[in-house]
Chain A
């Protein structure tokens, strides 16, 4: 059974800092891994999807990497801004389902 873990659970950084969010999964037979952002009380916004055959994906200040062999993915956020404050969720996609981690709540202080 797939289990997804995100560390840390919460993170507070000053504006402008580069940061890395971590995601690990127990079953490496994933088809893809997706990163989402969720603002309080809102739905999920898809940020990046990495196919199992890919190593990384980039979108603007975001870069996500995937290492299937070690069961890890990271989300790198460059030059963080207060508007980046949100909960970031990773989800592993296998057997037709998304299995979510518990999320990392990020606060970027001005």
Chain B
């Protein structure tokens, strides 16, 4: 099973709302990633968790707050977002952070009004 699941599939939120994106994998992977992808652009790395600890933060604004409650689950908490944050948010996982194949989820399409 090489599946990474993400919920919700679609999300519409206002600039004052608080919402969360969820990502789950049951492959025993110990590295998990959040990417942001704008239309017709490649994915851009946001955060990397390795063994449930944040190892990379690509200078992401604090209105995005990641959380890794356990080795299978990764959340992205959203608060006071801007319309330019509208994008496809992709989660990925790999066996570990050491340059292994990354497996991506289907993404959450976020629209900020």
Contacts and interface: CB of A to CB of B under 8 A. Distances in A.
Interface stretch (B11-19, B62-70, B78-86, B105-113): B105-113
A46 B101 contact: yes
A103 B41 CA distance: 8
A98 B104 CA distance: 12
Size bracket of the A interface: 20 to 34
Contact of A43 (B42, B44, B104): B104
B41 A43 contact: no
A98 B45 contact: yes
A49 B105 CA distance: 18
Interface string A1-40: 0000000000000000000000000000001101010000
A30 B85 CA distance: 30
A31 to B, nearest CB: 4
Interface string A85-101: 00001010110111011
B70 to A, nearest CB: 22
Nearest to A93: B99
Interface string A69-110: 000000000000000000001010110111011110000000
A32 to B, nearest CB: 5
Interface of A is mostly: strand
A38 to B, nearest CB: 9
Given A97-B45, A102-B42, A42 B107 contact: yes
Contact of B41 (A44, A46, A102): A102
A102 B40 CA distance: 8
A100 B48 contact: no
A81 B106 CA distance: 23
Contacts of B106: 42-43
Contacts of A54: none
17 contacts: A31-B98, A32-B99, A34-B101, A34-B102, A41-B107, A43-B6, A43-B107, A44-B90, A44-B104, A45-B104, A46-B101, A46-B104, A94-B99, A96-B99, A97-B45, A98-B43, A101-B42
